[in-house]
Chain A
Amino acid sequence: MATLIALSVLAIITMLIGAWHKYKWIVPVLVTGMAVALALNINDWNTYRHYYNEMMFVDNYAVAFNTILIVMAMLVVLIAGHYFRNVVKPLDDVYILMIFSLIGGTLMTSFSNLSMLFIGIETLSISMYVLAGSKKFDNLAKEASMKYFLMGSFASGFLLFGIALLYGSAGSFNLEAIGLYATSHANDLPKMFYAGMLLTLIGLVFKVAAVPFHFWVPDVYQGAPTVITSFMATVVKVAGVAAIFRLFNHSFMAIQPFWSTTVVILSAATIILANVTALYQRTFKRLLAYSGIAHTGYLLMALVASNATSMGAVLLYLAAYSLSTYAAFVVLMLVKDFIYDDKMEHYQGLARRNPLIAITLAISMLSLTGIPPLAGFMGKFALFSSTLESGHLYLVIIAILGSAISLAFYLKPVISMFFKEGGQIVIGLNPWLKVFLVLLCLAQFALGLIPGMITQLL
């Protein structure tokens, strides 16, 4: 709760800095403010308190996912300072919208009332619609922003209709009350309740992009400015997944046999289709978009498993996924700065002149594939073994096949960097960036070495 207040105050302070034209202060103030919010957030560990008439419930689940959200947002803000270094016009509004989006994300991890879920999703999304189109002279960004807006508001409609039907049958917006209703009426639940649950699932799955509802993702990721795309792929994805798991764990566990099959199909279809489609991508940004969709598929497996170990596995998986995806986006930003294009051909022979960049990309790609001892492997291992414990062997086999396919497209840019003859470009890095890239690489190893510490948190 203190986290939410700290972040809101931070957003207002940033607006004031913008009003006073002290643009150089924005990034340092934001990073300090987010560090404060992070400390306040960790301070809430093990408190388990309800706020505002049970609108929000800050439990360890909320604290753990908020930590990932704030750390990732901090990293994005840090690299945004580098990304926008040559932009003359003031950019305070971009940073403010990122903070508002983060506020929406923290609401989505700690809601205990469906109205807070709705407000959280909308705060997050409305800021993202604007951010996607924040590069006003870029026609692709305009198109991406329009598509994101149309799809996002369409999805909110489904989510809301589902919420209305749940309210109509359970008589409350409170998660625990809905859960109690579902448990006590397990045998004579009205059809309206099932319909409401499915519509809510559709609305949320739209936001995290699982397969039948993923078509907007590659377009939006490609068109939006790269730093905003990295925000979408990390913060928005983590918040969406956290919201799905929170809603289902608290409200719909009583009717798991009903939705289990649906989620299995969603998950399997997402894994197969996203991994296969990613093989045909020619631009690196679209490849990362399909990679993000595929990882949503793996994460949905944990929803099917829903046992004692699955939440810890999801936490580790999301931490590993967002760190590796972020590292890949940092490399993409650095390369794109020099070539103004994200086609895969431009990565040929990059390793000879820019070893650090090439190594960072290689490590993050291997981590996303799930090669030991990197973070991504530990995440996948925890997730797959938790799914196996619940007896979903076929789903694990599909997921392993998917990972095998993913090796082909993740290694494509790496191979062309290291083993092909190509361009002579040298990407200049200042010392800070070099240290930053080395730290990103080390963090991916470190997360792979201490997986137990994270999985045991939840």
Chain B
Amino acid sequence: MSPITITDYLIFCTLLFVIGVVGVLVKRNALAIFMSVELMLNSINLLLAAFSIYMNDPAGQVFVFFIMVVAAAEVAIGLAILVMVYRYTHSVDIHLLNRLKW
């Protein structure tokens, strides 16, 4: 059993990130899309923390806190917008939002 290297972290985080991206692109449920965005952000957090330990530099871990705070703010705004949209379409399906077209 070889030790876990920084490359393993990189591959794992990239996979998580890609899962998040694919989730955003294929899901119709707005809540599932929010969760996919969170998955993207959390894969980045993990990657930053791994790099930070690997390079013995605390800046990466501080950045993780910034991302967490911003992600919390974003979710707060996002859920508020979702509630507003739900009152209008009575659904969380984003494909119903198709009135803006040329």
Contacts and interface: CB of A to CB of B under 8 A. Distances in A.
Contact of A146 (B47, B66, B85): B85
B100 A223 contact: yes
B88 A139 contact: yes
A183 interface: no
Contacts of B40: 154, 157, 160-161
A161 B102 contact: no
Contact of A129 (B17, B44, B81): B81
B66 A118 contact: yes
B12 interface: no
Interface residues of A, number: 43
A157 B20 contact: yes
A136 interface: yes
Contacts of A119: 66, 70
Contacts of B20: 157
Interface in A324-380: none
Contacts of B67: 118, 160
Interface residues of B, number: 42
A84 to B, nearest CB: 20
B60 A146 contact: no
Interface stretch (A71-79, A280-288, A401-409): A280-288
A192 B81 contact: no
Interface string A197-227: 0000000000000000000001100110000
A277 to B, nearest CB: 8
Given A122-B73, A129-B81, A133-B81, A171 B94 contact: no
- Most B CB atoms within 10 A — which of A133, A280, A281? A133
B95 to A, nearest CB: 12
Interface of B: 6, 10, 13, 17, 20-21, 24, 30, 33, 37, 40-41, 43-44, 47-48, 51, 55, 57, 59-60, 62-63, 66-67, 70, 73-74, 77-78, 80-82, 84-85, 88, 94, 97, 99-102
17 contacts: A118-B67, A130-B80, A140-B99, A145-B84, A149-B74, A149-B77, A149-B78, A153-B74, A156-B70, A156-B74, A167-B59, A167-B63, A168-B6, A168-B47, A172-B57, A172-B59, A192-B10
